[in-house]
Chain A
Amino acid sequence: MTGYILHRLASAILVVFLVTIISFSVMSLVPGDPASVVAGANATPDEIAAIRIQLGLHLPYHERLLNWVAGLLQGDLGRSILLQRTVAEAVAERLPVTIALSIYAMALTLVLGVGLGVFAAVRQNSWVDQLCMTVALLGVSLPNVWLAILFVMFFSVYLGWFPTGGYVPFDQSISGALVALTLPAIALSLTQIGLLARMARSSMLEVLRQDYVQTARAKGLPRWSVIGKHALKNVMIPLVTVFGIILSLSLSGTVVIETVFSLPGMGRLIVNAIQRRDYPVIQGGLLLTASALVLVNLAVDLLYAWLDPRVRYAD
């Protein structure tokens, strides 16, 4: 197993490196550079050209690429052109916001998604099943940006229960942070809850028809023990695969949610950097995002082995 993990990590480094080289090259091909953003909308072509030289953007592609790779090999992600700080500092500021939002949203997704799916399967074809699946279908169908705005109008403006946006750091106020993240987390998780609930329902229905479940029932075990102890663990194997995909979707979904709720997270950092051509931030952000996704996939593969003893990876 150790050998397998080391092998996967080695190939992950290669994947991440390739992702950054490709993204650097693609961004070099996209027209426009940060000089126009720094100069402002009223700047003349000559003023923008002068700023381009100040920022070193007149250097040829290969020279900029070599500078970037040389810095990277020394652990230096570079300095943002527009944020007055290093990329590492910018990421360190933003990561807690996105991690907190993602954990909150994933917790809601797991509890509500699996809960709704299992509940619907157990009460198959009843009104409970219909209700759970309607909720799941709405979650999948409604765009989360629309829901987010609706939540803000109703829960923040009309009822005044939650702030309309902004982030409160956990070290400042735990309750404040949780309140500030509640609406964004709900808006972010609804699609994922819908997906997971539908998947959990069908997996559970399949498992409930298996012989070992029938045997457990025949032995007279209580119903919730059969479901909770015997069926649920087997339902989790396909769900872990979906969970990995959902986590990736969730990370990309944070971009929209962070914008609507004015949260200074990683999603906005990268999207703004792309829109304003802040090359070092794009590179650093993509490097970390790619690394995170590769590690999530590795973790999912390892979870298989833990959940299902039949799965073994060769060293």
Chain B
Amino acid sequence: MKPWAGLSDKGLVDSLSDKSAATKGNDTMILRTGATVAAVLLATVAFAPAEAQIPQKGGTLTIGVPNGIPTFDVMASTDDTGRVIHLHMYEPLIGRNEKLEAAPMLAESWTVSADGLTYTFKIRKGVVFHNGKVLTSADAKASIERYMRMSVRRRYLEDVAEVSAPDADTVALKLKQVRPLFMNNFSQPEVIVAMLPSEEAAKDANKIESIGTGPYKLQEYKPDSHVRLVRHDRYAADTRSAGRDGYVGNKQSHIDTLNFRIIPESSAMIAALEAGEIDMAEWVPDKSVPTLKKNPKLTHVNIMPAGMQSLSVNIAQPPMDKLLVRRAVQAALDIDEIMDAARDGNYQLNHSVQYPGYATYPGDRGKESYNKKDQALAKKLLAEAGYKGEPVIIISAVTFDWHAATALVIAEQLKAVGMKVELKSMDWPAVVALRSRMDGWHLNPGFFGTGPWLGDPLISIASLIGPTPGNNFKDGPLYDYARDMENLPTAEGRLQAWFKAQDRIIDQVLMIKLGDMGHSQMLSNRIQGFTKFRTARLWNVWLQN
């Protein structure tokens, strides 16, 4: 099922034999921009023609990562670095393929009942956990129930009424009501519905041992130093696929050891890369890329787009409660200037919270209010709003330099149209604490990555439609559109609801989309078989001696 996005109607899932008629019947999304999607995804996967070469087994691949991970509980966090590591250790029943469609991973197949309420998954035989235990439906049931009980993203499964295990190889999920997007949620790689041994799944958040079914298993974790994964020798590769396919497919762990070295200082990361101590930097600052590109032993990989920069607006706090003031802010912004400061040139302009080329991209719809950089209009709107110089507080996290730079430039642009701006910089936990309050802030730059990349607009606007919206304002029409996006029976109906939701967000300035950001990685030329994706995949990759 591909209710939002996809390359074509003939994806990998369709080529697998056990797909039910009921599932196929729902695949009705009109792909208006298929050719562009193909171009985008081809650009995404075209790096390194090494698949044709003969892989070499062995060695240690050292990857520099800019920060440690907050938890090894795969269900407990949305952390980006954590996701990179966890996706090598854990697997779900259903994952996403290269085209971002739901596709079987640990499941052999799935079917949907005629009433659309029961999803039944057959578990692939011979899947073994890192501790040697064979995966059964009891483990699957316990894992799904744990996700529903404690996961940070348990809302994805909030419509599951019951999980059952009719036999040792089958697990079934009965929904409270028909949910067209259920498989989207069940297969998302953001916080995966990982399969854990049932005895671990019984444990509370952050109390589990790191035991998954993935191609690599945890050997050692030294906080602030490294995370070392070693090959899972009894890994049951999915031989139905010819090779790697998104986060599913035939995963081969050619490399013995993956050593994630935690290097918080960017100059130290670059030095380690140039000295050959690490084979890959998961992230390098964009300003260092021109110099690093001169090194013939290194290859630059730019993931564009990797995420979005946006501006949260606190509508509960005057003067942002006035629509005209919000529109004045929207009119004043020079997005090129902001994004250039945030990302040293590695950005693209985009008014939507979906990416160009995706089926959910609204084209030029809504573009008229974007990047206007019209100071005269902003001043006029402020005058109409009766703005009397009330202070506008921008809070930003110095923990992330792109947020700090974004806030700084926005502050200057708003001052230029006559607004009284206070810029408050603090660390990330303090920003989160402050922005959860109704007062004390007006604007806050933010970043979101995986949701937009998945092509799921519901994830992209999640912070505006939850029980506690991030802008402190429950906009009735937006909540109605969001319900339609989730529940309308046809893909076209859901798509149109999404377009209306975006119109509403832009018209009422419920948040301000700034731009799309790239993400630069550097790789040693020793690394073969690597293809770029939203997060680094180090299976089916090997080292050239």
Give chain A's interface residues, CB within 8 Å of chain B: 30-34, 36-51, 54, 81-85, 90, 93, 149, 152-153, 156-157, 160, 163-167, 259-264, 268-269, 272, 275-277
Interface size range on B against A: 35 or more
CB pair B80 A261 closer than 8 Å = no
B373: min CB distance to chain A, Å: 28
Check A259/B264 contact, CB under 8 A, given A32-B430, A36-B428, A42-B190.
yes
**A32 contact from B80, B224, B262, B433, Cβ within 8 A:** B433
Check A40/B470 contact, CB under 8 A, given A51-B76, A163-B277.
no
Binary per-residue interface labels of chain B (58-79) against chain A in the complex, 1 for a CB within 8 Å, 0 otherwise? 0000000000101110001111
CB pair A45 B436 closer than 8 Å = yes
Q: Verify if B222 is at the interface (C-beta below 8 Å from A).
A: yes
**A260 contact from B153, B268, B275, B469, Cβ within 8 A:** B268
B332: min CB distance to chain A, Å: 26
CB pair B467 A262 closer than 8 Å = no
Q: For A48, what are the chain B residues with a Cβ–Cβ distance below 8 Å?
A: 432, 436
CB pair A164 B272 closer than 8 Å = yes
Q: Verify if B152 is at the interface (C-beta below 8 Å from A).
A: yes
CB pair A39 B263 closer than 8 Å = no
**B78 contact from A34, A42, A268, Cβ within 8 A:** A42
Binary per-residue interface labels of chain B (261-305) against chain A in the complex, 1 for a CB within 8 Å, 0 otherwise? 111110110011011010000000000000000000000000000
Q: Verify if B487 is at the interface (C-beta below 8 Å from A).
A: no
Check A46/B71 contact, CB under 8 A, given A36-B429, A269-B224.
no
Q: Verify if B376 is at the interface (C-beta below 8 Å from A).
A: no
Specify which of A42, A49, A82, A153 lies most central, judged by the most chain B CB atoms within 10 Å of its CB. Answer: A42
Q: For B68, what are the chain A residues with a Cβ–Cβ distance below 8 Å?
A: 272
Check A262/B78 contact, CB under 8 A, given A272-B224, A276-B70.
no
CB pair A157 B448 closer than 8 Å = no
Q: How far is A23 from B153 in the complex, measured between Cα atoms in Å?
A: 34
Check A157/B72 contact, CB under 8 A, given A40-B78, A41-B79.
no
CB pair B223 A83 closer than 8 Å = yes
Q: For B267, what are the chain A residues with a Cβ–Cβ distance below 8 Å?
A: 149, 152, 260
Residue of A nearest to B276 (CB): A160
Q: For B221, what are the chain A residues with a Cβ–Cβ distance below 8 Å?
A: 84
Check A264/B225 contact, CB under 8 A, given A38-B76, A40-B80, A149-B267.
yes
Q: For A272, what are the chain B residues with a Cβ–Cβ distance below 8 Å?
A: 68, 224
Q: How far is A261 from B204 in the complex, measured between Cα atoms in Å?
A: 36
CB pair B430 A50 closer than 8 Å = no
7 contacts between A and B (CB under 8 A): A41-B448, A42-B190, A45-B463, A46-B155, A84-B71, A163-B277, A276-B70
Q: For B224, what are the chain A residues with a Cβ–Cβ distance below 8 Å?
A: 262, 264, 268-269, 272
Q: Verify if B180 is at the interface (C-beta below 8 Å from A).
A: no
CB pair A32 B77 closer than 8 Å = no
Q: For B433, what are the chain A residues with a Cβ–Cβ distance below 8 Å?
A: 31-33, 36
CB pair A32 B427 closer than 8 Å = yes
CB pair A164 B277 closer than 8 Å = yes
Q: How far is A264 from B222 in the complex, measured between Cα atoms in Å?
A: 8
CB pair B430 A31 closer than 8 Å = yes
CB pair B468 A46 closer than 8 Å = yes
Check A32/B432 contact, CB under 8 A, given A83-B223, A84-B72.
yes
Residue of A nearest to B462 (CB): A44
